[in-house]
Amino acid sequence: MPIDAVKLREDFPILHRRVGDAPLVYLDSAATTQKPLAVLDAEREFYLTRNAAVHRGAHRLAEEATEAYERARATVAAFVGARPEETVFTRNATEGINLIAYALGTAGRIRPGDRIVVTEMEHHANLVPWQQLAERTGARLEWLTLTDEGRLDLDGLDRLLDERTRVVALTHQSNVLGTVNPVRRIADRAHAVGALVVVDGAQSVPHRPLDVTDLGADALVFSGHKMLGPSGVGVLWGRYGLLESLPPFLTGGSMVELVEMDRTTFLPPPQRFEAGVPMTAQAVGLAAAVDYLNALGMAEVAAHEDELTGYALRLLREIPGVRIIGPADPVDRGSAVSFTVDGIHPHDVGQVLDERGIAVRVGHHCARPVARRFGVPATTRASFHVYNTPDEVEALAAGVRAAQAYFAR
C-alpha cells in the first residue's frame, strides 16, 4: 500500500511542534530521523518492566532482558537478510567501520605496500579509519574519483584492483550527493582479486530494501538513529567466516571465554565484538523501528522517498541560480538533495529556511573531499524520510526563492 505520510505523521509527535510561528518542516533525516511512538514506547517498556544487565545473573529479569536483546538482534538481522550470529550491535556506523579496520590491522592482514581502496564520496566515518589503518600498517590508501554528475568513475577501478588490494570500502548511498553506488558490480570485481568489500550502509539501509546476500559485500554497517530508531545503537554485519577470523576491537567483560591473570580466550562472534554491558534498551528500540518499517514495507518506503526526491529535484531545478550537487535526475539516487544558490552562502540559505521552520543541513556534511571535488565551500542539503510530504518539498522551494528575494535587496 502506498505510504500515507499525512496519516503516518500522527505517530511522530515532534513533527507537530512549531518553530517560532511556523510549523516544523523537518528535512534533515540524513543527519538523523525522528522516532515514532512505537520506538519510544518499546524503550520505555523495556526500562519499566525488564531492565537488567544482559548475559548475566541467574534471575528472571536478567533472563528476560537477555531474551529481549537477542530477539532484537534476530529482528534487525532479518531486516537485512542476515543471521543473528553475523550481526554485531555497535554504537553506530562509525564504530562498525572502526571495528573492522582496527581488527584487520591487528590481525596482520594489511601489510606495507598493500592497497586500501575507498572513494572520493565517503563520509569521514568511512575514510578516516582507513587512513589510520594505512598509516599504522604502511599500506597505500587510494580512491575512486567522481564524475561531474557525482557518480563513481568506474573506469578507475582496473587501476586500483590487483593482488595487493586488500580492502575496498565504499558507501552504498552518498549522504551528500544522494548517489546510489553499484555495490554488487564493484564487489564482484574486488572479490576477483581477493579483496574484502566493506559497505557503509548508513544512508541506504534506512531507505530501501537491502539483502546482504544480494549486496555481495563482506561487511555492512548502519546506524539505528537514521532509520527511525534510537541513537546509541548501530549494526555491523559481517560474513561469519570473516568475523570469526578477526580479533576483538574492544576488550573486557561479556566477550571472554576464559580469563587467567596473564591470558584470555575470547567468545565467538557476535559476543567477541560486544565488550561490556550493551545498549539493551536501544537495541529493543531499534527492533521496534524495524518492525515499524517492515509494516510499511521497504519497497513502499523507497517509492515514497523517490517521489519526494523527484519532486524536489524538479522544483529546485526550476529556480534560476540553483545548482544541484549530485545526480540531477531521480535515477539510482536516494533522498539526500544537496544544492547551492548563486551568490548566497549555504549558511544564509539555511538561516532563511530556519526562520520559516524548515530544518535542513548546511556545511560539508562530514564529507569534505566531496565539497572540494565540486569546488564549493559547503552545500545546503534537504533529505527525506517516510513522514515527509509534497507540501514540505514545496515549502523548501518557496524558502529558497525567499532567500533569493531577501539577498537580492
Among 28, 120, 200, 392, binds ligand PMP (CB under 6 A): 200
Give the number of other CB atoms < 10 A from CB of residue 133.
25
Which residue stretch of 7-15, 195-203, 303-311, 354-362 sits at the interface with ligand PMP (rule: CB under 6 A)? 195-203
- CA 389 – CA 265 distance, rounded (Å): 53
At 129, list the grid cell. 579509519
Q: Which is nearer to ligand PMP, 171 or 271 (CB)?
A: 171
CA–CA distance, 393 with 319 (Å, rounded to integer)? 13
Instruction: Please say which residue, 93 or 395, places its beta carbon nearer to ligand PMP.
Output: 93
87 contacts 237 by C-beta, under 8 angstroms: yes
Q: Is 338 a residue that touches ligand PMP (CB under 6 A)?
A: no
Catalytic residue among 366, 376, 398, 402: 366
366 is annotated as an active-site residue: yes
Helical packing angle, 60-79 and 280-296, nearest 10°: 40
Report residue 335 as a C-alpha cell. 533522498
User: Could you tell me which stretch among 57-65, 119-127, 178-186, 340-348 binds ligand PMP (CB under 6 A)?
Assistant: 119-127
Nearest-angstrom CA–CA distance, 29 and 403: 22
The single residue among 29, 34, 87, 171 that binds ligand PMP, judged by CB under 6 A, is 171
Nearer to ligand PMP, 203 or 340 (CB): 203
- d(Cα 208, Cα 180) in Å, to the nearest integer? 11
Among 62, 157, 296, 366, binds ligand PMP (CB under 6 A): 366
Number of residues that bind ligand PMP (CB under 6 A): 14
Rounded distance, CA 284 to CA 43, Å?
A: 6
Q: Is 123 in the site for ligand PMP (CB under 6 A)?
A: yes
* 114 vs 305 by CB, closer to ligand PMP: 305
Q: How far is the CB of 94 from ligand PMP (least distance, A)?
A: 3
- If binding is defined by CB under 6 A, does position 170 make contact with ligand PMP? no
**194-217 core/surface letters (b: 16 or more CB in 10 A; e: else):** ebbbbbbbbbbbbbbbbebeebbb
The answer to whether the CB of 172 falls within 8 A of the CB of 204 is: yes
* Nearest distance, CB of residue 375 and ligand PMP, angstroms: 21
- How many Å apart are CA 170 and CA 198, to the nearest integer? 7
Within 13 Å, how many C-alpha atoms sit on residue 205's CB side? Answer: 32
Q: Which 137-166 positions form the footprint of ligand PMP (CB under 6 A)?
A: none
Distances in whole angstroms, Cα of residue 298 to Cα of each of 48, 205, 215, 302: 31, 9, 16, 6
The nearer residue to ligand PMP, 50 or 208, going by C-beta atoms, is: 208
Binds ligand PMP (CB under 6 A): choice among 25, 42, 52, 93: 93
User: Between residues 33 and 388, which has the closer beta carbon with respect to ligand PMP?
Assistant: 33
Q: Which of 202, 235, 236, 337 binds ligand PMP (CB under 6 A)?
A: 202
Contact between 125 and ligand PMP by CB under 6 A: the answer reads yes
Question: Coil, strand, or helix at residue 397?
Answer: helix
Supply 20's cell numbers. Answer: 517560532
CA distance 30 to 9: 18
The set of cell numbers assigned to 70 is 537477542
Rounded Cα distance, 169 and 143, in Å? 9
175 scored as a contact of ligand PMP (CB under 6 A): yes
Pick out residues in 213-252 that bind ligand PMP (CB under 6 A).
223
The answer to whether 94 contacts ligand PMP (rule: CB under 6 A) is yes
98 binds ligand PMP (CB under 6 A): no
CB 109 within 8 A of CB 102: no
For residues 190 and 221, which CB has a smaller minimum distance to ligand PMP in the complex? 221
- Asked if residue 92 binds ligand PMP (CB under 6 A), the reply is yes
Binding site for ligand PMP (CB under 6 A): 30, 92-94, 123, 125-126, 171, 175, 200, 202-203, 223, 366
Q: Which residues are catalytic?
A: 366
